[in-house]
Structure 1
């Protein structure tokens, strides 16, 4: 079996993140115990932010900029802004309860779903168009390094 390309890895991670977003939606409807929130938000911070977003921010986006994709005023700038907004919403969910947490949770789910769609439909095809095979191989090695540096807890259920 052939190994996954860096873009396939990111798309696969998106599927995992989307499955956890479904859990968050259900949690708003039937609030779970606080330890579930703590564990799930810790997982989102570790996997979605520290691992997945780190791969994009430290490897993919810089490679795209090096290949000529603008870092400002285009899709990369939008993705970085949305990563920051997601971090802000996670902090809000961690620091609050009740209606405030519910609003932040709904906003986070909405943000990430739209964000993932943009990456899958715009950013990743653009990366595949501008990055050569050598750069993709280097991205794969960089992704391995990020994965080793950021141990990720098991996916919440």
Structure 2
């Protein structure tokens, strides 16, 4: 069943920021599922955590954040918005911070069998820190950074970025990646909603 959030073709958007905002909405669904996982008592449902982390690493980070880092931010720099300090520097710092939390979540999950109590504490702490960080990060991008992008870039530059987003996905992650991760987001939401 096709999800109303199908995003694979970015060319039905007018602006690069519209495509990125729609990806934010998908990421938020998975953040909601992760929040529910941090509140579930009993044994750690390893399979669900692995699914959520796969989504975070490959969709939120490799697909979404790397588009920003490799394509969007350089386009802003061309318009005189510096990489160091200011919003771009802050976004890059937060992307790295998020990767640190996710790495710690993966490590904690790998200890779920040997030491469930310690693993649970470590996993939940890092997941909650990641949730806080990413929700604030998304709000900053939606409300501040993307406004800057929209006022700096021409319609042609937006179209060029949208084409480059599609190319980035194909090259980095292969065809059909949006469909795969939309299905994972939907599955997590259905099972934890």
TM-score, normalised to structure 2's length? Answer: 0.78
Alignment partner of 1:38 out of 28, 39, 50:
50
Matches within 5 A, 1:57-72: 57-72=69-84
Indicate the larger mover: 81-90 or 2-11. 2-11
Secondary structure in 1 matching 2:167: helix
Give unmatched runs, 5+ long, in structure 2.
1-10, 109-118, 189-193
Larger Rg over CA atoms: 2
Matches within 5 A, 1:107-118: 107-118=129-140
Secondary structure in 2 matching 1:68: coil
Give unmatched runs, 5+ long, in structure 1.
none
Give yes or no for the alignment of 1:19 onto 2:29. yes
Matches within 5 A, 1:1-157: 3-4=12-13, 5-30=15-40, 32-96=44-108, 97-149=119-171, 150-151=173-174, 152=177, 153-154=180-181, 155-156=184-185, 157=188
Q: How many residues align?
A: 156
Secondary structure in 1 matching 2:83: coil
Query: Considering only aligned residues, what root-mean-square deviation do their CA atoms show, in Å?
Result: 1.3
* 1:59-98 C-alpha deviation (Å, 9 max, x unpaired): 1000000111111110000000000011111100000021
Mapped to 2, the partners of 1:139 and 1:19 lie a distance apart of: 25
